Amino acid sequence: MKKIAVYPGTFDPITNGHFDLVKRGLKLFDRIIIAVALNPQKKTLFSINERVSLINSMITNQPSLEVHVLDKLVVNFAKTHSATIILRGLRAISDFEYEVQLASMNRSMEPNIESVFMSPAEEFSFLSSSIVKDIARHGGNLEKYVHQDVAKALKEKLQ
């Protein structure tokens, strides 16, 4: 039986920290579905289609990776895609309480879906989409933090 994981997030934009988790997750799972959240409560810089497109540009020729829009409860999305794992990143201890709360709620709704937490590589432990957008707004160098397509899109969006 293939191990399929869903990696949900807003990804506004996806960072090298997010993608590092995906690459390392592929050592554990046969397939990872990057589920780009459509969350009307969050004011995103990029539209849902732009975020999906940016991620797709990064994963060409990687059949173990897929990108989809997440517009329902993540446990329902996972069941729809035959996934039994929800992959989540933990950057700091401050993330832990919220993520454990989410994992418990998800497990109460769907006991057959497990949450797996991974910490980012040390060079990405401080990185967030918000910080990346701030660097971009102030004309900083983004090459260590995001894929070149994302850096280009940020520059165009913020001009």
pTM of the model: 0.94
Among 37, 36, 40, 38, residue whose Cα is nearest residue 59: 36
* Domains with residue ranges and CATH for the chain: 4-125 (3.40.50.620)
Residues 78-89 have pLDDT tens digits of 999 999 999 999
Rounded to whole angstroms, how far apart are CA atoms 20 and 23?
A: 5
Residues 92-120 have pLDDT tens digits of 777 788 899 999 999 999 999 999 999 98
CA dihedral defined by 20, 22, 23, 29, rounded to 10 degrees? 150
Sheet order of strands, 31-37 included? 65-70, 31-37, 4-9, 85-89, 114-118
pLDDT at 149: 96
Q: Please, what's the b/e burial string for 38-77 (b: 16 or more CB within 10 A of its CB; e: otherwise)?
A: beeeeebbbebebbbebbeebbeeeeebbbeebeeebbeb
Which residues are marked as active site? 18, 42, 91, 129
User: Which pLDDT band, with edges at 50, 70 and 90, does 35 fall under?
Assistant: very high
